[in-house]
Amino acid sequence: MARQSSRPSSSRPASSRPAAAKKSTPAPEPAAAEEVSDISDTTETTDVVEDVDAVEAVEDVDAVEDDEVEDDDADFNEEDGGRERSAQADAMWTDVNIEPVEIALLKGVGYTLRAYRLSTELTPTELDEEEDDFAILHRREVDEEEVVILDENAELFAEEEPPAALTKSAKKKSARDESDDESDDESDEDDAVAKDESDDDDDSDEADDVDAEASEEDEDDDEDEDEEEPEEVPAFLGHRGKLLLFRSVEGLVEFVKSDEEHDLLQLDTWSSLKTRITASSVVPKDEDRYELDLVVENLRGGQDAWDGELLIAAGEAARDLAYSLRLEPVRTALSPGSPLDDLDEALRAAAGGGVGGFFAKRRLRKIGAQQAALGWRTIIGKISAAVDWRD
């Protein structure tokens, strides 16, 4: 062995060694030392192997955990509809200027489409009369001149009978009276005509002044109308005041490719979407996912539990749906100055932080949680009633 050849020899001279040592069996110190060295080397090798095995074991565990995480992510993506939106799909949605939307309600989660266009480019959806909350205002009013005569009061409306024939003396007297009355009437008529002519002149002057003022006001109104610019408004995939909400992306794609009537047919890019849409491309962005089913429960939890992001997003979705579907009660509940609008403004200010956010949080504590929850429950109920669920 190389290790033996490298060990140094004994420094003692041969003549100085005792005779007994020559006769006796040589001592096994070198072998023992060699065994000790081999044992030490084996121990060191074993330690190194164990360390390597431990490292490899840790790496194997990490690899397994990474595989499990990837599997969990894959399962999550499958539950979420499959997928992240590809660059090709993103370009397609940008080109048609329409976006898929995911809305969660108490009855489930559904998919629909939304587009923003100028108000001059869209025709509002038509409402069925029974779905119009203000249909009673459109009923025909009863003609004021139309009189209904009841049988029991018919005598009150009967025409008077002509008087009986008069005697000769009565006729003569009546003729003289009529002649006098006619002369008096003619005199009165002349005076009245003169007065009327004078009044007419005055009225004519006043009418001219009124017409001039009205003309100026009309011109001012026309100028104001001309100055008003069209605003961008939302339009959803719906029909006659009903939101079409599909439980699967496949159902949505099938409907888009069909020839059924709906409100988005008026979009100039609809024909392009109809030929290009696929099930794999229907992946809403995070900002286009609305969890309306969680709003009331979150509000009931109190101010400390309020989720600003959830509530602000719900307000945006509700306003868009109210405009597109013509849900007047919802628009009124969320109109500027309403309690729910104050809640929305305070949440936005609180999310902005800074001094304004500090005071906004103080305002939030003054808003009643139960009142806000009741208001939003009504809104969610109106929206849910306007949904036409499709498979």
How many residues are there in the chain?
391
Q: Which residue has the higher pLDDT, 219 or 232?
A: 232
Are 342 and 278 contacting, i.e. CB atoms less than 8 angstroms apart?
Answer: no
Residues 6+ apart with CB under 8 A from 135: 129
**pTM flag (> 0.75):** no
| Residue entry with tokens 């009673």 | 136
Is residue 341 predicted with pLDDT exceeding 90?
yes
Percent of the chain whose pLDDT exceeds 70: 53
Report the range of poorest mean pLDDT among 109-123, 149-163, 287-301, 361-375. Answer: 149-163
Confidence band of 86 (pLDDT split at 50, 70, 90): very high
Q: How far apart (Å, rounded) are the C-alpha atoms in residues 73 and 66?
A: 10
- The better pLDDT of the pair 95, 63 is held by 95
Model confidence band, residue 360 (pLDDT cutoffs 50, 70, 90): confident
**Exposed/middle/buried for residue 390 (C-beta within 10 Å: 0-12, 13-18, 19+):** middle
Q: Would you say residue 331 has pLDDT above 70?
A: yes
pLDDT at residue 217, as a whole number: 66
Distances (CA, A) of 245 to 74, 100, 251: 26, 11, 10
The structure tokens listed for 265 are: 């047919």
Stronger pLDDT, 87 or 220, i.e. the higher one? 87
pLDDT exceeding 90 applies to what percent of the chain?
A: 45
CB 342 within 8 A of CB 333: no
Residue 140 has pLDDT above 50, yes or no: no
What number is the average pLDDT over the span 51-60?
51
Reported as a pLDDT band with limits 50, 70 and 90, residue 368 is confident
Quickly state the pLDDT bin for 222 (edges 50, 70, 90).
low
Give me the pLDDT at residue 18, please: 39
> What integer pLDDT is reported at residue 177 of this predicted model?
56
Once rounded to an integer, what is the mean pLDDT over residues 317-328? 96
- The tally of CA atoms less than 13 A away on the side-chain side of residue 45 is 6
Contact 72, 354 (CB under 8 A): no
Model pLDDT, residue 8: 43
Q: Is the pLDDT of residue 78 over 70?
A: no
Split at pLDDT 50, 70, 90, the class of 212 is: low
Query: Which contiguous run of DSSP H or E holds residue 344?
Result: helix 339-352
What is the spatial distance between Cα 99 and Cα 273, in angstroms, rounded to a whole number? 11
Average pLDDT score over residue span 110-132: 85
Residues 29-37, mean pLDDT to the nearest whole number:
46
Helix, coil or strand: residue 330: helix
**How far is the C-alpha of 343 from the C-alpha of 378, rounded, in Å?**
16
The DSSP call for residue 248 is S
Amino acid at 79: E
